[in-house]
Amino acid sequence: MIQIALIYPEIPPNTGNIARTCAATNTHLHLVEPLGFEINDRQLKRAGIDYWEYVDVTVHPNIESLQKASQGGRWICFSARGSCSFHEFQYQDNDWLIFGSESKGLPEQLIASYPSVYIPMEHPKVRSLNLSVSAALGLFEARRQLGL
């Protein structure tokens, strides 16, 4: 199963929107601390509407914990500095789609260590998309390729 991981997410509504997408697709969501909010944050809950009971969420204290949980899976790092367009990449059923924080993205070490993809943008002044939009694009492209 495809899984989504957010490393150091900062903005509660983004994480809430991603959780809602995960609920709709039965996708496990992983959050890596430190989080920029409390897990019971009102804005986080509001963005997830009343679907939180349908989201399988695991909070990890650090990246090492996430790596241990994902053994047997392949990490795909989403970054503006990625080496391949996200829609040209060939996804597999055991992939973990990894996204960084809204202000800093993913640590460079992760991008260098794992396959990395980017979402093409036409306007040269736009450096990135909203985190929840990026996660949805990546998840639905992976699902499309896998026939889900």
The packing angle between helices 131-145 and 12-25, to 10°, is 20
3-state percent breakdown (helix, strand, coil) of the chain, nearest 5: 35, 20, 45
Q: Is 15 helix (H, G, I), strand (E, B) or coil?
A: helix
4 and 27 Cβ atoms separated by less than 8 Å? yes
Q: What is the pLDDT of residues 91-133, one digit of tens each?
A: 999 999 999 999 999 999 999 999 999 999 999 898 889 999 9
As given in the structure block, the two tokens for residue 49 are 């509407």
More confident residue, 34 or 38: 34
CA dist 110 and 75 (Å) reads: 9
Domains of the chain and any CATH numbers: 3-145 (3.40.1280.10)
pTM of the predicted protein model? 0.94
Q: What is the pLDDT of residues 52-65, one digit of tens each?
A: 789 999 999 999 99
